[in-house]
């Protein structure tokens, strides 16, 4: 006779999560910034094994758990394909000079009178262009910090302005791994997620910029910004910079607005970037390909390499050279690896009922949409503090609450928005989190010094909760979507 399946106790359901949190903490202590290179993924596998053992003890069969794993990985395949195309797009946009042009024109808006606002906006532009808050802070952020200090502004305030802008751009960029990870966990698509997230993200950054404006205007600021001239010169000396390059991003934005699916829209942007590289940056083609005597062959090699592997453009400015790097499709492999391992963990937790048992305990406290979103945001922040990793602060709550949002008739973009509004942006506010520790080390500013001034990061979780309680832009599942979900469950 088959062993009867019993309902897991809450403590049993929490064991894999406790195990995951403890081992991730060890990882962060031992591996530091390199934890994402593989050790966190292994911890997810080991945590999945712990969950499987508990599931087997409660009467589940391995076949059921295996099917749960396969189903969970299958649900993330769309996001994985998008991530690969994002890597290719980032490569051709660097090769064509689109990303350098965004940085170049963004730096033009710096002004001593409104330095804090300008620093935040420039950081946002660069992060939006590169899809990486880490790269932005480590390059342009370091330069902006030096400029601000020469103007007599406290480093904590400058750091807060840089962090606010960098994380706004990271959140809103389709090139960002967390911006792709959140909708994958929630079960929605990338561009729907970005459009929906704008409703809470834009007001948050506007409030932050207003605060920075007030702070800036109340301080006496003299002097000119000359430190940025070498950066502009290095970009201008390496690329042909022209506003015409923005036709490619305009194409992608147009396709998004016209609701073209993400994969063809991103592929169009990738290929257009490759074509513009041939037209505007033939000298970069030779540098990246290493072929000088055959332009046709060099073009093919350079564009292909930009799409699938690491490329970099060397300038006479080390900081600019560090910024002008991209990993192509291969650069996305660690994130894809993380998603697959997270789906293995989530698949076992879901199919065994362990995740449902934990969620039920949390959901008892959430009687309406506002309290549900607040519970989600609190869980994300909890994992940022305990697991010390922003990816897990998105992955685990995403899997925990996905079914609950559907059962309450809420579209998955509500969940994906909350994951980013609370998981992505608060990671940098925790000194022992990988994000907080890294940004502090890169800037040379203690986390507790910039934390009170990272207004965007502080405001974002509250903004998403306020929207939920006031029922502003809370998308509901249509009858057709509900029927499709019921059909998929069967």
Same domain, residue pair 240 and 350 = no
Same domain, residue pair 98 and 180 = yes
Q: Kindly state whether residue 435 falls inside one of the protein's structural domains.
A: yes
Q: Kindly state whether residue 281 falls inside one of the protein's structural domains.
A: yes
Q: Kindly state whether residue 196 falls inside one of the protein's structural domains.
A: yes
pLDDT band at 458 (very low <50, low <70, confident <90, very high): very high
Same domain, residue pair 300 and 358 = no
Question: 349-374 pLDDT, tens per residue?
Answer: 888 888 778 777 877 777 889 999 99
Task: Identify the top-confidence range among 46-55, 150-159, 216-225, 243-252.
Answer: 46-55
Give the whole-number percent of the chain exceeding pLDDT 90.
Answer: 34
Question: 290-323 pLDDT, tens per residue?
Answer: 888 899 999 999 999 999 999 988 888 877 787 7
- What six digits make up the tokens of 279? 């037209």
- pTM for the full model? 0.69
Angle CA(44)–CA(46)–CA(49) in degrees, nearest 5?
110
Strands (E), 406-475: none
Is the pLDDT reported for residue 221 higher than 60?
no
pLDDT at 387: 65
Same domain, residue pair 154 and 189 = yes
- Which residue, 300, 399, 397, 297, is CA-closest to 348? 399
Same domain, residue pair 350 and 408 = yes
- What six digits make up the tokens of 127? 């992060």
Same domain, residue pair 151 and 296 = yes
**Other beta carbons within 10 Å of 214:** 12
> Which residue matches tokens 């907080």?
436
Number of domains in the chain: 2
Same domain, residue pair 44 and 185 = no
Same domain, residue pair 193 and 323 = yes
The domain boundary residue, chosen from 299, 314, 331: 331
Q: Kindly state whether residue 84 falls inside one of the protein's structural domains.
A: yes
Q: Kindly state whether residue 3 falls inside one of the protein's structural domains.
A: no
Give the CB-side neighbour count of residue 195, counting CA atoms within 13 A.
12
Same domain, residue pair 376 and 450 = yes
- For 378, the enclosing helix (H) or strand (E) is helix 369-386
pLDDT band at 220 (very low <50, low <70, confident <90, very high): low
Same domain, residue pair 152 and 200 = yes
Q: Kindly state whether residue 1 falls inside one of the protein's structural domains.
A: no
Which region, left, alpha or beta, applies to residue 291 given φ > 0 means left and ψ of -120 to 50 means alpha?
A: beta
The domain boundary residue, chosen from 299, 331, 363: 331
Residue-range definition of the domain harbouring residue 93: 79-331
The domain boundary residue, chosen from 316, 331, 346: 331
Same domain, residue pair 379 and 467 = yes
Looking at per-residue pLDDT, the higher value among 477 and 457 belongs to 457
- Which residue, 211, 148, 221, 227, is CA-closest to 443? 148
Q: Kindly state whether residue 5 falls inside one of the protein's structural domains.
A: no
Q: Kindly state whether residue 4 falls inside one of the protein's structural domains.
A: no
Same domain, residue pair 134 and 100 = yes
């Amino acid at each position: 006779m088959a062993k009867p399946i019993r309902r897991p106790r809450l403590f049993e359901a929490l064991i894999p999560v406790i195990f995951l949190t403890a081992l991730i903490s060890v990882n962060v202590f031992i591996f530091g910034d390199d934890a994402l290179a593989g050790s966190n993924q292994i911890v997810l596998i080991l945590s999945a094994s712990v969950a499987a053992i508990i599931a087997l003890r409660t009467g589940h069969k391995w076949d059921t758990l295996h099917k749960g794993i396969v189903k969970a990985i299958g649900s993330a395949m769309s996001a994985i394909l998008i991530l690969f195309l994002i890597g290719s797009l980032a490569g051709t946009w660097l090769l064509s000079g689109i990303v350098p042009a965004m940085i170049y024109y963004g730096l033009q808006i710096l002004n001593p009178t409104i330095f804090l606002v300008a620093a935040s906006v420039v950081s946002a532009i660069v992060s939006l262009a590169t899809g990486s808050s880490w790269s932005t802070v480590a390059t342009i952020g370091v330069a902006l910090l030096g400029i601000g200090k020469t103007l007599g502004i406290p480093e904590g305030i400058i750091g807060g302005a840089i962090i606010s802008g960098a994380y706004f751009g990271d959140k809103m960029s389709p090139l960002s791994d967390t911006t792709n990870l959140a909708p994958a966990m929630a079960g929605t698509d990338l561009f729907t997620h970005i459009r929906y997230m704008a409703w809470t993200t834009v007001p948050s950054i506007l409030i932050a910029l207003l605060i920075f404006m007030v702070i800036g205007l109340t301080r006496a600021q003299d002097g000119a910004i000359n430190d940025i001239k070498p950066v502009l010169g290095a970009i201008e000396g390496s690329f042909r910079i022209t506003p015409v390059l923005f036709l490619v991003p305009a194409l992608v934005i147009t396709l998004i607005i016209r609701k073209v699916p993400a994969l063809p829209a991103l592929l169009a942007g990738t290929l257009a970037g490759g074509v513009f590289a041939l037209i505007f940056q033939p000298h970069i083609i030779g540098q990246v390909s290493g072929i000088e005597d055959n332009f046709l062959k060099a073009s093919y090699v350079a564009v292909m390499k930009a799409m699938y592997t690491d490329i970099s453009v060397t300038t006479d400015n080390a900081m600019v050279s560090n910024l002008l790097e991209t990993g192509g499709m291969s650069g996305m492999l660690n994130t894809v690896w993380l998603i697959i391992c997270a789906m293995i963990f989530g698949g076992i937790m879901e199919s065994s009922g362990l995740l449902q048992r934990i969620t039920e305990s949390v959901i008892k406290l959430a009687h309406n949409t506002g309290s549900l979103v607040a519970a989600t945001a609190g869980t994300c922040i909890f994992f940022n503090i305990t697991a010390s990793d922003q990816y897990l602060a998105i992955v685990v709550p995403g899997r925990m609450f996905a079914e609950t949002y559907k059962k309450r008739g809420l579209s998955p973009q509500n969940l994906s928005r909350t994951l980013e509004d609370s998981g992505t942006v608060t990671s940098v506010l925790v000194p022992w989190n990988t994000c907080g520790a890294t940004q502090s080390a890169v800037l040379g500013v203690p986390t507790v010094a910039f934390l009170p001034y990272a207004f965007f990061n502080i405001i974002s979780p509250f903004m998403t909760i306020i929207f939920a309680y006031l029922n502003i832009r809370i998308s509901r599942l249509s009858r057709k979507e509900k029927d499709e979900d019921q059909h998929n469950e069967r």
